[in-house]
Amino acid sequence: MYIRTKVRKNASGNSYIYAYLARMKHPKKAKPRQKIVEYLGRVYEMERKENKSPKIEGLRLKDMLKAMVITELENHGFVESTKEIFQRGDIEVNLSTLAIKNIKKNKNACLKLNQGILCHKTLKNVMEYKPPKEILPKIARNLAKTVVEAGLPGDAVLHD
């Protein structure tokens, strides 16, 4: 599955981008077609305001990913309004419930950040990420070797 965006014009002529979760459907005797699985929300393009890097040294993978999300939200002008809730204008990102909403309209929203789209599905994928177990030891050894070979401190990678 993947995220598909569509540009729609309203009656007044304004264009808006909407995101959908889609999959390819391959009928036997017809050409492949896209099947919309779920409406994700209107896409809001967020201008980058800062260029801070996340502080991830010594963190576990789950905390590292959360720090990356928080830093990216802050880089795009979001401010933590209450614990784990970030807001910019009418857009609210709740890291506890993994929801992104336009609070004025009470509708799901998506954020165009860098080259991707952050919506409740992609936020959940990041915050609940678990590497495949069968290849985890190989990835860990390879990552540790790569980090150490590059002269970077390997302590954070070697001790999880």
Distance CA 65, CA 71 (A): 10
Low-confidence ranges of the chain (pLDDT < 50): 156-160
pLDDT at 156: 44
pLDDT digits (tens, 9 = 90+) for 13-48: 899 999 999 999 888 888 888 889 999 999 999 888
pLDDT at 32: 86
> Nearest Cα to 94, choosing from 73, 125, 65, 77?
73
Distance CA 157, CA 4 (A): 35
